[in-house]
A and B are shown apart, each in its own frame.
Chain A
Amino acid sequence: MTLRVDLQIISDWIPDNAHVLDLGCGNGSLLKHLQQRNVTGYGLEIDNSKFSECIAGGVNVIQADLDEGLSQFGDQSFDFVILSQTLQAVKRPDFLLREIMRVGKQGIIGFPNFGHWQCRFQLGLRGKMPVSKNLPNAWFDTPNIHLCTLKDFEKLCDQYGFSVVSRSVVNHEHKDTLGIRLLPNLFGQIAVYLIHNGNS
């Protein structure tokens, strides 16, 4: 099974034998992949059909709504808490981010970059809400209600004292280009951050 590229980036950051929590784990493909390296933990998923896929794949999955927080988990009880492509769809990203960093020693957050030039072009020049491969829905039926740019996200982390350990920014083909390396907030479509508590 080949892993979605953002999940591959995340997987590369997680060492063998780690204990992880995957928020909005989808069909459990990341956790299933990590099981081969003795990584333990749980997925949280609210979608019925994705949940069933997790069970069928032998992945530990808890049916839960991320908007209700992570109160069932103790402080610092996971090595990594992962939130991939879901931050923009929760009611309070700031609350969830703090919950992630309470429960996890490190957080891995991936999201679509709203600062990408196509978004800027569509909104700034054409005067329309952006629609793209990463954000395919129209403004009225999109689950993506809290979009942000790389800069916005980094500012929020800074505000809470979370430091960025590592960052990977790619385009929608999940490739890293020269443009992305020079101007990530303009050319990057998907960002994945590894963050942890305090300054380092």
Chain B
Amino acid sequence: MSDSLPADSVGLVTPSHLHIDTPLALDCGRMLPQFDLIYETYGTLNADKSNAVLICHALSGDHHAAGFNSLEERKPGWWDTAIGPGKAIDTKHFFVVCPNNLGGCKGSTGPNTINPETGKLYGPDFPIVTVADWVKSQAILADSLGIHKWAAVVGGSLGGMQALDWAITLPERVGHALVIAAAPKLSAQNIAFNEVARTAIKSDPEFHEGRYQEFDTVPRQGLGLARMLGHITYLSDEAMGEKFGRELRSGKIQYGYDVEFQIESYLRYQSSSFVERFDANTYLLMTKALDYFDPAKEFDDDLTQAVKAIQAKSLIISFTSDWRFSPLRSLEIVDALLSAGKSVSYAEIEATQGHDAFLMPIPRYMEIFASYMQQVAKEVNS
């Protein structure tokens, strides 16, 4: 990064920690005797604590959503395009909170932290957590900050699922739910992709049943392969075509099995850099949380019944080229909200970037996002 921080950046940020000694009962039936959450905040909480916005991260995200942790950091947080002064989630108006989810690998309690009962790393023994468990733990974080009701809960992809679950399970605590590039549950195809990713990780000889750290190794091949596959599903054919086409690295065909096409090189780069920053057990756990998400299940598979309790107003956004969670999947949520007579708006954004579009500063997307959040800010200040 350069010497000076951009004017529309939240600037330098330092993560905060919350330690909770009260046991947390999880959906799987197990208990977390105690846990830690690492989170970042941007902006200032107002006197009546009504301007707080919760950001929920997706599969490979973390608590570092905006700004820079140090001047040496090359790239800002993962959603810096949307969070900052003058941006869609304007930190001049909102107090923004983004935690790393339980089971994550960036500082919150998860497979790569110490199990207080054994004094050893949790590893594969860390219980599988669900979207509902995350919502519960985020509510404890809200309590600790004195926030009774979020002005908005916002998320894309798996983050959008958390926003939807918040609105359903804690209706009085959510003013607005922004559910972006999400789905009300995974399709068989979505689960199939996750299963291939898990198989890649588990079949790596370095995986050691998830105890790879005890063997002082990492299932690089498996985790890298999982990321490659995931990455393909995040992009569209069009986006890949635009970016790489059939371009060759050396300009001519080699008739061998080494990296030849630029797309191969890109995928390998993505995979190796991901392995450096992510934990294989966390990846397994996050894909399971995705697979299990299905808020309509308790309501005889009737999503309209599931959303009946919602008090929040909602904005649902999808992207035309997203084939992982296509616009039709967002429309399932919209239709349920409409049938239940809930306050909802829906936008389908023209975008070539596929599922990843939700992270991009696409002008129309940002305009709608910002306009909506300005209305939220008005409500908070009125």
Chain A interface (Cβ within 8 Å of chain B)? Answer: 19, 40, 42, 48, 51-52, 54-56, 58-64, 72-74, 77
Residue of A nearest to B316 (CB): A62
The answer to whether A63 touches B346 (Cβ under 8 A) is yes
The answer to whether B345 touches A52 (Cβ under 8 A) is no
The answer to whether A55 touches B372 (Cβ under 8 A) is yes
The answer to whether A72 touches B347 (Cβ under 8 A) is no
Query: Looking at the complex, which one of A42, A51, A74 makes contact with B347 (CB distance below 8 Å)?
Result: A51
A62 to B342, CA, bound (A): 12
- List 30 A-B pairs, Cβ < 8 Å: A19-B341, A40-B343, A42-B338, A48-B364, A51-B347, A52-B364, A52-B368, A52-B371, A54-B345, A55-B315, A55-B347, A55-B368, A55-B371, A55-B372, A55-B375, A56-B375, A58-B375, A58-B378, A60-B343, A60-B344, A60-B345, A61-B346, A63-B348, A72-B331, A72-B334, A72-B335, A72-B338, A73-B338, A74-B339, A77-B341
Total contacting residues, chain B, CB less than 8 A: 22
Query: Looking at the complex, which one of A48, A54, A59, A62 makes contact with B338 (CB distance below 8 Å)?
Result: A62
Shortest beta-carbon distance from A165 to chain B in Å: 25
Residues of A near B343 (CB, < 8 A) are 40, 60
A19 to B371, CA, bound (A): 24
Shortest beta-carbon distance from A120 to chain B in Å: 42
A51 to B315, CA, bound (A): 13
Residues of A near B313 (CB, < 8 A) are 60
Q: Main secondary structure on chain A at its contact with chain B?
A: mixed
Query: Looking at the complex, which one of B334, B344, B374 makes contact with A56 (CB distance below 8 Å)?
Result: B374
A59 to B343, CA, bound (A): 9
The answer to whether A62 touches B345 (Cβ under 8 A) is yes
B367 within 8 A of A: yes
A42 to B331, CA, bound (A): 15
A40 to B339, CA, bound (A): 14
Q: Mark B345-382, 1 if CB is under 8 A from A, else 0.
A: 11110000000000000001001100110110010000
Residue of A nearest to B331 (CB): A72
A60-B343, A61-B345 given; name 17 further pairs at CB < 8 Å: A42-B338, A52-B364, A52-B367, A52-B368, A55-B315, A55-B347, A55-B368, A55-B371, A56-B371, A58-B375, A58-B378, A59-B345, A62-B346, A63-B347, A64-B346, A72-B335, A77-B341
Closest 7 CB pairs of A and B: A56-B371, A55-B371, A58-B375, A62-B346, A72-B335, A61-B345, A63-B347
Residue of A nearest to B318 (CB): A63
Shortest beta-carbon distance from A45 to chain B in Å: 10
Q: Which of B346, B372, B378 has the most CB of A within 10 A?
A: B346
Shortest beta-carbon distance from A74 to chain B in Å: 6
Shortest beta-carbon distance from B334 to chain A in Å: 7
A52 to B372, CA, bound (A): 9
A40 to B338, CA, bound (A): 12
Shortest beta-carbon distance from B123 to chain A in Å: 46
Residues of B near A19 (CB, < 8 A) are 341
A56 to B315, CA, bound (A): 12
A72 to B338, CA, bound (A): 8
Residues of B near A62 (CB, < 8 A) are 334, 338, 344-346
Shortest beta-carbon distance from B225 to chain A in Å: 38
Q: Mark B308-344, 1 if CB is under 8 A from A, else 0.
A: 0000010100000000000000010011001101011
Which residues of chain B (176-229) have a CB below 8 Å from chain A? none
A77 to B337, CA, bound (A): 13
Residues of A near B335 (CB, < 8 A) are 72
Shortest beta-carbon distance from B5 to chain A in Å: 29
Residues of B near A61 (CB, < 8 A) are 345-346
Shortest beta-carbon distance from A170 to chain B in Å: 32
Residues of A near B364 (CB, < 8 A) are 48, 52
Residues of A near B367 (CB, < 8 A) are 52
The answer to whether B339 touches A55 (Cβ under 8 A) is no
Residue of A nearest to B375 (CB): A58
A62 to B344, CA, bound (A): 8
Residues of A near B371 (CB, < 8 A) are 52, 55-56
Shortest beta-carbon distance from B345 to chain A in Å: 5
A47 to B341, CA, bound (A): 24
Shortest beta-carbon distance from B371 to chain A in Å: 4
Residue of A nearest to B336 (CB): A72
A115 to B346, CA, bound (A): 38
A54 to B372, CA, bound (A): 10
A56 to B370, CA, bound (A): 9
A100 to B334, CA, bound (A): 19
A51 to B367, CA, bound (A): 11
Shortest beta-carbon distance from B256 to chain A in Å: 48
